Amino acid sequence: MKTIRTTAAAVTAAALIAALAGCSTDTDSTGGSTDALTPVEFGLPTNMGANNSPMAVAEALGYFQDEGLKVDIVVTGDSTSIVQGIDSGSLDIGSTPPEPIWQAMTKGSDLQLVYNYIRKQTGSLAVLDDSPITSLDDFEGAVIGQYSLGTSNMLLSEGILASAGLEPDVDYTHLAVGTGAAALQALKTGQVDALSLWDTEYAAFEAQGTPLRYFTTDEVASLFSTTYFSSADFVADNPEVIEGFGRAMAKATLFTATNPEAALRIMYDEYPDTLVAGNSIDDQLKVDLVALNARIALLTAGDPQGTQSWGAYDEAALTAWGTFALDAGIIDSAVDTVAAAPNTFVAAYNDFDADAVIAEAENWSAE
């Protein structure tokens, strides 16, 4: 059984360092020694769930350990804290959509995007199917529910609404509502007029009988989403860590795409807190499989296995991100997005026996 350490959403870099101190362990999930493994502090902005199940697969099946790594997950509750942790050196690798990375780079942070995890955009604005909101212009005066007020999805939604000439705190406001049942309840009761979450959350809501309508722009829909990143110094000093981490995640993503039910059952076993109280595993699988299959379509967009491009960034998508972020007011000065993602380790990420991973997934059994 795994536990994930959680920091407060507004954690400072110093507090994050303190949270990391003294939390190591010398056994892995199977009870084996990890003394010879390299510890990696990994920042995750959201709690473990169907959207993060490949991470549980990489842990449980020993993909990280095979690379000589012991990955310690730190959940921050927001993306800003992860950027701060990478900047301070208290985190080694972080996970976030790119918006806060671009913002930090305009302020002098020397960050590098190292692994393109979610290859298509996950975020959009969603309203109930019977909502009077029918266009972006109708969001004037709206209250928009966010996971937290430090989430990258808030920046994305502001960028989407900027295309309609709407400004935050002038034409609309944000409210932190969390995720899951709490977020859906806020939408259904009218506490918020719309949600700014992501694909797996929306898919779960619809699977439970709540139809939604979505708003984005063609430009946003073309952008990649969650990426793994680090500091340029850490990448330069620890290339084998970056290579191993990315290769483990490529294998775990391929396993998950091959057998999503197995990935979810592995996650439930590794992280029992992901099971909703009162739900049977079979009942939860019905919802989580809908959400995970929606995410797999984005994780495998462009056929990364067939093209040997796990973790790779497309230059056109990087350029589009730079243009969108500047035009939408997410950043106030240009960022060289292409230089920030040099694709240094792509060949190493794809250097594994895919047939063996697929066979492991196909033959996996909970017994």
What are 228-280's pLDDT values in tens digits? 999 999 999 999 999 999 999 999 999 999 999 999 999 999 999 999 888 88
Q: Which residues of the chain form CATH 3.40.190.10?
A: 5-120+224-362, 123-221
Q: How many Å apart are CA 51 and CA 201, to the nearest integer?
A: 9
Question: How much of the chain exceeds pLDDT 90, in percent?
Answer: 73
Is 187 in a helix, a strand, or coil? helix
Q: How many Å apart are CA 214 and CA 196, to the nearest integer?
A: 10
**The predicted structure's pLDDT at residue 34:** 57
Alpha-carbon dihedral sign for residues 161, 163, 165, 168 = positive
> For residue 194, what are its two tokens?
């719309």
**Closest alpha carbon to 227 in 66, 17, 82:** 82
123-221 topology per CATH? D-Maltodextrin-Binding Protein; domain 2 (3.40.190)
Mean pLDDT of the chain: 90
Is the CATH number of domain 5-120+224-362 3.40.190.10? yes
Phi first, then psi: what are they for 170, rounded to 5°? -120, -55
- Cα 5 to its chain centre, rounded Å, is 17
**Higher pLDDT residue, 25 or 198?**
198
**The predicted structure's pLDDT at residue 7:** 54
Is 325 in a helix, a strand, or coil? helix
Mean pLDDT, residues 11-30? 44
**The predicted structure's pLDDT at residue 53:** 95
Q: How many Å apart are CA 62 and CA 173, to the nearest integer?
A: 44
**The predicted structure's pLDDT at residue 220:** 87
